[in-house]
Amino acid sequence: MESLLIRGAEIMDPSCGRDETADILISQNKIEAVGKNLSCETAREVDAAGLIAAPGLVDLHVHLRDPGFPKKEDLFSGCRAAAAGGVTSLMCMPNTSPVTDNPETVRYILSKAETADARVYVAAAITRGLHSAELCSLKLLKEAGAVALSDDGRPVVNTALMAQAMRKAPSLGLKVMAHCEDLYLSEGGKVNEGEISAALHVPGVPAAAEDCATAREIALAAAYNVPVHICHVSTKTAVALIRDAKRRGVPVTAETAPHYFCLTQEELRKKDADYRMSPPLRTETDRLAVVAGLADGTIDIIATDHAPHTPAEKSDFLGAPNGVIGMETSLAAGITFLVGQHHFSMMKLLDLMSTAPAKLLGIPAGTLAPGAAADLVLFDPAEEWVVYKNHLHGKSRNAVFKGRKLTGRVKMTVCGGRIVYHDENYGG
């Protein structure tokens, strides 16, 4: 593998607070040096003037649909989409077919991922078949290579089983990730309950469905003094519950997705199922609360909840499955709606999308320190571009930012020292 010398980039590394214009030398799959006026006669030089070089993004909430749903996505197409968005590490969720509730499926995913364009980590299921009736063999899942546990796609309905998982996971070095939804409250709902559901005459999902489940997970974490990670936060009350829990010292962390800090339920007036996901798009008040939660540290991480579905599935507004793709647009969405609107700095955005999730999972990522794996993204923070869904790199087209102009364009992604994405309009 050839060495790379990236020249003249603005290096932004949240792991150490570095922000300076310098060079990066990559050799033998590692970052060999970071500094000014580096040289290497045998390296391929990349002119990065005007670009930001940052640690590769870490997306800890992705549905690769592999095994079982190759028409939606597969591991290789999902990782191509990741690379095009600057994502070099991702964690896939267990609602596959078969469910990732056994060591064989964990090993299948990890083996297949060895030649993909991003590093793949596995969140295995908490309960067998995602049925909330029997706890999986957590130790065997860990030994097979899983780094986290979740029934995402569904909540763990049985509180006793959730408590058991949360209490067992720390000793195994596993993170428990909670899909917070009260299925009795959300049953039959298609969009956020309120003005839009009434106007469309469709059943709604009340904010209470997320809020009640969030409160349960926080209560378990507090009662047993064990950590829990709250997935895809979308309501003002969930943000307030997490903020209060952190003030009380409860070991809770949280994530949200770009669609929750960028968009609202008003999008549903289009009757386009690409804007339906779980939890649903909420109100402007909720959106602003999510932004405030990111700004003040209540919400620790931005993840995409990338959830591909075929165009045929998404053609029926009411019958379509929930989910939206997002890895190719997540960085630009953060730049456009958070940094561009002066909610916080670019460095903080990169921390939320790279260093913080890497630390949470305990994986070797999120840094440009010499000796670290050569995983990085080069992007133009000022370039404007329109999201054309047919130009995206995954198999599915249910892109929530389709047709929108965003700011911030990935120009090159390097994973393990290998260029896995190169914008065709970037000479580099």
Q: 134-193: per-residue pLDDT in tens?
A: 999 999 999 999 999 999 999 999 999 999 999 999 999 999 999 999 999 999 999 999
Judged against a pLDDT cut of 80, whether residue 1 lies above it is answered with no
Please identify which of the residues 305, 351, 375, 423 carries the catalytic annotation.
305
Phi, psi of 43 (to 5 degrees): -85, 145
Question: For residue 372, is it within any domain?
Answer: no
CA distance 234 to 284: 11
What would the pLDDT profile of 18-37 be if each residue is shown by its tens digit?
999 999 999 999 999 999 99
Q: What CATH number is associated with residue 137?
A: 3.20.20.140
Percent of the chain with pLDDT over 90: 98
Report the pLDDT value the prediction gives residue 275, as an integer from 0 to 100: 98
3-class DSSP assignment, residue 148: strand
DSSP class of residue 193? T
Question: For residue 399, is it within any domain?
Answer: no
What would the pLDDT profile of 318-371 be if each residue is shown by its tens digit?
999 999 999 999 999 999 999 999 999 999 999 999 999 999 999 999 999 999
Report the pLDDT value the prediction gives residue 425, as an integer from 0 to 100: 87
Judged against a pLDDT cut of 80, whether residue 81 lies above it is answered with yes
Report the pLDDT value the prediction gives residue 48, as an integer from 0 to 100: 98
Question: For residue 261, is it within any domain?
Answer: yes
Report the pLDDT value the prediction gives residue 2, as an integer from 0 to 100: 85
Question: For residue 69, is it within any domain?
Answer: yes
Question: For residue 90, is it within any domain?
Answer: yes
Judged against a pLDDT cut of 80, whether residue 38 lies above it is answered with yes
182 is catalytic: no
CA distance 239 to 242: 5
Which residue from 175, 192, 346, 326 is spatially nearest to 259, judged by alpha carbons? 326
Judged against a pLDDT cut of 90, whether residue 382 lies above it is answered with yes
Q: Once rounded to an integer, what is the mean pLDDT over residues 275-298? A: 98
Judged against a pLDDT cut of 90, whether residue 428 lies above it is answered with no
Report the pLDDT value the prediction gives residue 300, as an integer from 0 to 100: 98
Which residue from 105, 87, 93 is spatially nearest to 64, judged by alpha carbons? 93
Question: For residue 46, is it within any domain?
Answer: no
Q: How much is the CA Rg of the chain, to the nearest whole Å?
A: 21
Report the pLDDT value the prediction gives residue 128, as an integer from 0 to 100: 98
Q: Which residues contact 152 (CB under 8 A, 6 or more apart)?
A: 61, 93, 94, 95, 123, 177, 179, 231
- Confidence band (pLDDT; 50, 70, 90) for 105? very high
Which residue from 93, 199, 75, 198 is spatially nearest to 149, judged by alpha carbons? 93
Question: For residue 147, is it within any domain?
Answer: yes
Neighbours of 49 (CB within 10 A): 9
CA distance 190 to 186: 9
Q: Which domain range does residue 235 map to?
A: 56-361
H or E element that contains 144:
helix 138-144
Q: Which residues contact 372 (CB under 8 A, 6 or more apart)?
A: 30, 31, 364
Question: For residue 41, is it within any domain?
Answer: no
Judged against a pLDDT cut of 90, whether residue 427 lies above it is answered with no
Which residue from 172, 186, 326, 319 is spatially nearest to 262, judged by alpha carbons? 326
- Name the domain count of the chain: 1
Report the pLDDT value the prediction gives residue 395, as an integer from 0 to 100: 97
- Confidence band (pLDDT; 50, 70, 90) for 56? very high
- Confidence band (pLDDT; 50, 70, 90) for 67? very high
